[in-house]
């Protein structure tokens, strides 16, 4: 039973790898939070992820820290298994939320009395697609022998006295 009448659930649990954290990760967590008073997020450990796909680019401790830092996340915990039976029970969660790219893998939780909601994951951006884009950009850069050092900022000062810059700077004064 929800504590806050405006929330559908008291405790919602979701989990994911959250590698190369991006806007679809954020959107899923924002939608999940709108459903509940307390949002608990399991972050898949590197050992778990290795069992079904490539090792994440961002190490587990860093991915956990990123998720923990989000104000909309009430608690972030390590997730060591794709079977959420024990986790859902221990957390006393009402509902499991996951992206629809996992449909219908978690329907077994419904038979245990938990609600399961598959949210639209969102088109276009995924950690896998970002990794592919980064790899292709890096290959192009190496092939073109593009320098990767930071530019000298001094030539950019010539544009500081432009009317647009003057207007923006006057707002700071």
Whether residue 88 lies inside any domain: the answer is: yes
Whether residue 158 lies inside any domain: the answer is: no
Instruction: Check residue 118 and give its pLDDT.
Output: 97
Residue range(s) defining the domain that contains residue 45: 9-122
Whether residue 131 lies inside any domain: the answer is: no
Instruction: Check residue 95 and give its pLDDT.
Output: 98
Instruction: Check residue 15 and give its pLDDT.
Output: 98
Whether residue 170 lies inside any domain: the answer is: no
How many domains does the chain contain in total? Answer: 1
Instruction: Check residue 138 and give its pLDDT.
Output: 75
User: Where residue 69 sits, what CATH number does that domain have?
Assistant: 3.40.50.620
3-state secondary structure of 71: coil
Q: How far separated are the first and last CA of the chain, in Å rounded?
A: 53
Instruction: Check residue 2 and give its pLDDT.
Output: 45
CB 89 within 8 A of CB 80: no
CA distance 140 to 7: 49
Whether residue 52 lies inside any domain: the answer is: yes
Whether residue 45 lies inside any domain: the answer is: yes
Taking only the tens of pLDDT, the chain with its 173 residues reads 445 667 899 999 999 999 989 899 999 999 999 999 999 999 999 999 999 999 999 999 999 999 999 999 999 999 999 999 999 999 999 999 999 989 999 999 999 999 999 999 776 777 677 667 777 877 777 777 766 677 777 765 555 566 666 666 677 76
């Amino acid at each position: 039973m929800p504590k806050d009448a405006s929330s559908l659930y008291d405790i919602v649990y979701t989990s994911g790898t959250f590698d190369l954290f991006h806007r679809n990760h954020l959107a899923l967590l924002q939608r999940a939070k709108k459903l509940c008073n307390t949002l608990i997020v399991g972050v898949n450990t590197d050992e778990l992820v290795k069992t079904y796909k490539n090792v994440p680019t961002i190490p587990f401790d860093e991915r956990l820290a990123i998720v923990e830092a989000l104000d909309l996340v009430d608690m972030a915990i390590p997730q060591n298994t794709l079977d959420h039976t024990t986790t859902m029970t221990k957390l006393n969660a009402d509902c499991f939320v996951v992206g629809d790219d996992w449909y219908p893998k978690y329907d077994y939780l419904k038979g245990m009395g938990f609600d399961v909601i598959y949210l639209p994951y969102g088109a276009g951006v995924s950690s896998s697609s970002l990794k592919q884009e980064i790899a292709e950009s890096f290959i192009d850069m190496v092939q073109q022998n593009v320098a990767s050092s930071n530019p000298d900022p001094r030539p950019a000062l010539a544009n500081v006295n432009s009317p647009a810059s003057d207007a923006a700077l006057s707002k700071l004064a």
